[in-house]
């Protein structure tokens, strides 16, 4: 059973990893430079993993074994790469075309897909 504490840990870890640790350079260049996207994914995956493990230790609750949690973190890093590869390009095109409403819809859809990946992979791995 997945606890509310774990769900909050995952949401907070994702938020900090995706926004708090992403530099302006990464955000502005991940749509056109693979190295910027790769660096964002590296920091995202590292921060997600560390914060999730620390959070599980603090609340003394994790729905996955340590090996399964490691696999979950890596799988989410890979999923995050695929999602951001496409969403960053789409949002850049929308912004460049002056379609601000579409830009924000794409950003929201990006976050929705990230949440589906985070929790879908958790369920697939037995959480």
Q: How many structural domains does the chain have?
A: 1
Which pLDDT score, from 0 to 100, does residue 101 have?
98
**Residue 84 confidence (pLDDT):** 98
CA distance linking residue 88 with residue 83, whole number of Å: 8
pLDDT of residue 59: 92
What residue numbers bound the domain in which 36 lies?
4-124
Mean pLDDT of each 10-residue bin along the chain, 127 residues long = 90 97 96 97 98 94 93 98 98 98 98 97 90
Query: Which among 70, 75, 64 has a CA at the least distance from the CA of 1?
Result: 64
What gap in Å lies between CA 106 and CA 15, rounded to an integer? 17
Q: What is the pLDDT of residue 2?
A: 82
- pLDDT value of residue 127: 73
Per-residue model confidence (pLDDT) at position 86: 98
What is the pLDDT, as a whole number, of residue 61? 86
């Amino acid at each position: 059973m997945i606890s509310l504490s774990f769900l909050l840990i995952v949401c907070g870890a994702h938020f900090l990893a995706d926004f708090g640790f992403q530099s302006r350079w990464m955000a502005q260049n991940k749509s056109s430079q693979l190295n910027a996207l790769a660096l964002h994914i590296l920091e995202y995956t590292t921060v997600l993993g560390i914060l999730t493990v620390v959070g599980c230790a603090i609340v003394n609750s994790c729905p996955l074994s340590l090996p399964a949690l490691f696999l979950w973190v890596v799988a989410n890093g890979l999923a995050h790469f695929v999602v951001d590869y496409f969403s960053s390009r789409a949002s850049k095109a929308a912004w460049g075309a002056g379609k601000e409403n579409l830009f924000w819809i794409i950003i929201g859809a990006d976050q929705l897909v990230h949440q589906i990946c985070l929790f879908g992979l958790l369920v697939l791995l037995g959480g």
